[in-house]
Structure 1
Amino acid sequence: MTAYIVFTRESTRDQAELDAYSQAVAPTFEGHPLKVLAAYGAQEVLEGTSPEGVVILEFPTVEAAQAWYDSPAYQTVVQHRWKGASYRVVIVQGV
């Protein structure tokens, strides 16, 4: 069953760290079956506070999503995102 990882950037702490993350994240996708559905596009907030940005990645299964997130390549790069900003990140199973 399809799964999605949804990244919601709440607030930026260090733009240089986010830039380092942005430069290094794409190669972590290699060998993983994912599709980028949204990446910091225009938003229209319907409820709640406006996030700084949203990214949605599609995977064929929850296991595939977890495998990418837990991969050594991504776990090396994610350190920059953690230093650079506050995010909410969830895996959501599709219907």
Structure 2
Amino acid sequence: MTAYWISVYQEISDQGKVDAYARLARPALEAAGGTFLARGLPEQTYEAGETTRTVLLVFDSVEAARAAHDSPAYQEALAALDGGARRDMRIVPAL
């Protein structure tokens, strides 16, 4: 079953670390079967109205998304991000 990987950046404290993370994370996640669907700031917000960076990827399954997260290549990207941002990341199965 298809799964979505959703990351919301609640706070960026070191843009250099975020940039280093992005250079490593994108190829790692794409190599693991992820496809980027959206990334950036919202064009419109409702309810809480938070204009925070959001990233949305799709994977073939929850298992594939978990494997991508746990892969050595993505763990290297996370190490580069260390302390550079506070994020909420989740994997959600499609309906």
TM-score for the superposition, normalised by structure 2: 0.89
Report the count of equivalent residues: 95
Deviations 1:39-77 (A, max 9, x none): 115431111141420000100100000000010110111
Structure 2, unaligned runs of 5 or more: none
Correspondence list, 1:33-52, <5 A? 33-52=33-52
Structure 1, unaligned runs of 5 or more: none
Deviating more after overlay: 16-25 vs 53-62 = 16-25
Deviating runs (4+, > 4 A) in structure 1?
none
Contact persistence 2:9–2:85 (CA under 8 A): yes
Correspondence list, 1:15-54, <5 A? 15-54=15-54
Alpha-carbon distance in structure 1 between the residues aligned to 2:51 and 2:79? 21
CA RMSD, Structure 1 to Structure 2 (Å) = 1.5
Contact persistence 1:8–1:51 (CA under 8 A): no
TM-score for the superposition, normalised by structure 1: 0.89
Aligned twin of 2:66: 66
